[in-house]
Each structure stands twice: as C-alpha cells, then as structure tokens.
Structure 1
C-alpha cells in the first residue's frame, strides 16, 4: 500500500520553502515517520509510582500519527518548546511530568530533552517568563521511540492560586541529526496547548490553534503529592552500572546471568528538608535476583535537592535470559515522610 506524507502549510510569515530535493528553510511541518500500528495508542495517566495527584488537560491520552508539528528543516528540529499551564486550587509537590512522544529519532539512539517547571500568579503567557519563577528542571536523554508517554522525574513545589507552567524543551537537533515530534491528538483539551519556536517566528508561547494547528492537543500530565514536604523516587532516571575490573568486556549495560551490577536511583525532596533519609529494596527480591547491598543511607536531603541511592544486586547464574523483573524501592525519613517506586529491567537482552 503506498504511503502518503502529510504537510501542514504554515502561516505566511513561516512559509514552507522547498526545492526538488531538500527543505532549505525552517518551517512547521509534521512527522514523516510511521508509528507502528495500531496508529493510535491509548494510555491512562500513571501517578501511583511517586504521587497521588494527576493534573491533565488532555481529554484523551492517545498519540495520533502525523498530528504534531515542530519547527524543523527536513524533519530535524530547531529549538522547540511545548507548554501547558495548570491553574492551581491547592498546593502540589510535583514529582513527575509525563509527555507524549509521537516520534523521537536521535542520531545516536538518544537525544536531549529538558523539562522545566515554573510558578507564577500572572497571566500565562502574557506575563511569562518575566513574572514567573523556575521551581524545577530535569535534563533527560530520551531513547528512540514512537507512540509512547514518557515519564520524567522532576520536583518542585507550586502553591495554591498560582499557575504551574510545564515546558518540554527540545534543543536544536540539526547538527546532531535529531528528530522529535511531541505526542498529541485531536480529541480535545480543557485548556490550550502552547508552542514556541523562534526560528519559525514564534518568539513567545502561542496556542497551537493560533499558529494554524488547532487539532494539535499536546498530551501532557503532571504527577505530584499534596502540598507540604515530600520525598520522591526517580524511577525513570535510574541507571545501571555493570563495570567489572576483572572483565571489562562485561561493561555493556546488560544484566547477565551471574553478573553483579550497581543500580543508582535519584531520591528528591520538595517542600522541605529531611534528615535520616534511607532507601531500601523491597522484600522479597524478585525471582532470579539476589540482593548484595539492599540499603542506601542518604542522610540529610535539602529542599529542592536530589541524592543518589545506590544498591548492588546479582543476577543468579541459572537465571533465564530475557526475564523481566522490577526492583521495589522504599524511602523513609526521620520526619516521617515516605516514598516508594520501582526500577524495571531484565536479565539479558532480546534480539
């Protein structure tokens, strides 16, 4: 079956400029990559891993193929920022932002994305960024993927009566060869989606409808806890270290049968400072995994800061390859604040 490529016509100031073989000017256009079928993927906002509150303005969590645009040349994006503004009736300690990805294709298999949190009482976007304060940020390396909702661990306290503004920023990927289209659908939203891309003439956040793309309803959710001091587990930013001095060839990022690895997980504080912070792996250990060091004493953790909890585990020598497992993590403090999360991985790799 022949494949069609959809192009959106940008406003006159951002006209699409093309020649026979290449796009030679920045323009707003949609992805030409195919999302694996089914072309609409439906998701339910999470929120139980780090927080009990989910804020969303998205009527649907579906990601629709060829629905989003970015300011790009030949599919490789320039600086693009995607925003939502959430008016708050109560305080919230943010622990995670979830954003849709239509397609992400990096030259090296990953690409940088930054998530920023801002708080302010002035109108958005009219008084942004001048009257707003940045309350949280997270720098991510997003692996190649399509039709997904990506969880980003980021913390910040926003108070009742303010607007919580979330920005997903994709830095210029043209030199590196990166392509990113945020996930969206045309199913409706309770408040506008915003896009900013100076290279296409949009120098401040503008609604997607006002620049010609009313059906681009960005999928974005905020997860958090009620106002007050809280701890959170950065499950999405966990890393695996399998370096072995006696066998450097095993340092391949894969948990292999019989191998001992280090698991590192960020623990964050928001809304207050904590002492006696301890992170532990949940009992019992997953099948095929033996705990070597299941406790990480973090100590004091100041408001707005993060520290790394470090654990050591061994994959049993007789474990079956390509077996998935989840490491449960529990955090306690002298002040009584607790948090929980989990890190998913597998023994061996597929393919």
Structure 2
C-alpha cells in the first residue's frame, strides 16, 4: 500500500477538520477562479433579487480546487441550509428519493462525484431537477404503482472530477456550469497568506512563494504543506518562516522544488534509468516502482504529464527532455520523444499505453 502523500489531491480523514477551518465562507473571501467566481456571483445575486432559489450548479475540475468550498459558499450566500451527499452513496433510486423527500424549501443539496451515481437514481434526478417532482414506485411487477411526490424548490450543486462521464440529459439540466482551473503561484500565495493569518503564522513573502511553488497549483495541497512547514518550524524553534526554512521543511518531507514527491521521482527515475526513457507499459512501470498500476496512473501520472515531464503515447509512457533535466541527467541523442510527434494527455483513449 502506498504511503500517504503530502501532495495527494485527496484529503486524509484527520486533515478534513483542519481544512474545514480554513475554508472561506463567502465569495468575497474565495481566492482565485476569478471567471467562475464572477459568473456565480451574478447567478446568486439575480436569484436573491427575484426571491427564488438559485439555478442548479455543476462544478467540474481536478480534486482540491474548491468545489466543496463553493457549494458551502452557495448555501451561505443564499442563507440556506446545506445537505451533503455523494454519487457513490446513492446506488438506488430509493436512496435519492429519501434525500429529496426530506429537503426543505430553498435547501442546497451538494452531490460530490455526481458522475458515480447509479443510472436509476440519475433518471429520477432528471425529473426532480426540472419539475421538482419524483415518482415513488410502490410494489413490484404488474401491481406496481407510481405515486407522484411534489418537492419544495431546492438548488442542486453537483461536483465532478470527470465531467465527460456525465450523461448529456443530466448536464443540460444545470443552469450554470463552472470549470475550475489550476491556480497560479501568485494565487496560491494569496491562499497561503489568508491561511497563515488564520493559523497565526509569521511567514515572509519569499516563504509563501516557496510553499506555493511546490503545491501543484492546488489550494488543498498548499494548505497541507503550510501546516507541515508550521510543524517543522515549531519543532526547530523558528518564529518567522522564510524561504530557506520552508524549503528545508518540505525537503524533509520529500517534496521537491517542482512539487514532486517520492512516488513521482521514483516513476520518472525508473522510466529514464531502467527503460531508457520508454516507451513502457503502465503495468511494467508500476512493478518497477513497487506500486499498483492504479496508484501510478491516478496519483503520479496526471501531474507528470501536466508538467511536461512524461508523455503518453499509443506505445506506452515516455520521458521528455524536462524529465532528464529535472533528474540532473543528460538528454540522450536517440530519445523516444523524438520519434513521437504526438503526446496524449491522461484520459484519452489513444493514450492507454498499458500494453507491455
């Protein structure tokens, strides 16, 4: 089993309480995602002026960028209660019916990973979103009876990391769709400044830049790294965290200047030193680093591809010149990337590259 990673996008259970304390409560406090924030602010303001519940909202994007936080902000801005559930928890239409029938008027229902909801529940959700009504089926077979149940107006906020898996009819029923992008270093510095104020930390501008540069463009990771730097500074008796202290702390946690951790560097190193830069299949690469293929594909690979350190081709994974440069190795003259004109990003069908 892989060790918990400081730069993993998912939250560990013990991190959730700390993360919740750092979440902004209103749109004015939310840092970054300027385009989505402006559009969402207009949608909510118009709803308040009409005196009606807000349109259903779909938020998509990689983990850790603020989808759950925005759902909480929507409820706060509309002065409405928030109900939280997730797609994997709704495997039967009855599960969804129980949630919907207990909603109060104006309530915000947040469904995380909505693309993982079962098909029968999806079909029930269509009618609930559009007509605020569901049909409850009582009995089985020829004696089954559908009883219509009216629902109070509510706002559904759906979050997904894989918008392409949502069926068209479900996507079309959302009144507003926002795609969250990775943060710039400057935006992450603003996130860290706010968090440092809440944590009562003294950090220099260079210290914020150091932590932000290693955070993979993700606020959740930035806040997690800041807390680990805080711990390191406390143990070493450092009152003000500068770039040197932040770098030393994160080096100890094996998060390098580019945000790569032990697994990321292990994958790159194996690809370059054991397989001559590739191409190599996913299963073979995973065995070489002692991890499960799913761990390599979902944890390490997306960031390596996004940073241009790895490419995915129909023949397998390959290292790019940047990978050699990052590992401090000379770029070979006959490199696999020279033969591949096209590199495919994660998730593309052509880039499966898992054959050994």
TM over 0.5: no
Structure number with greater CO (CA < 8 Å, separation at least 6) is: 1
TM-score range, shorter chain: under 0.3
Bigger-Rg structure (1/2)? 2
Q: Which has the higher strand share?
A: 1
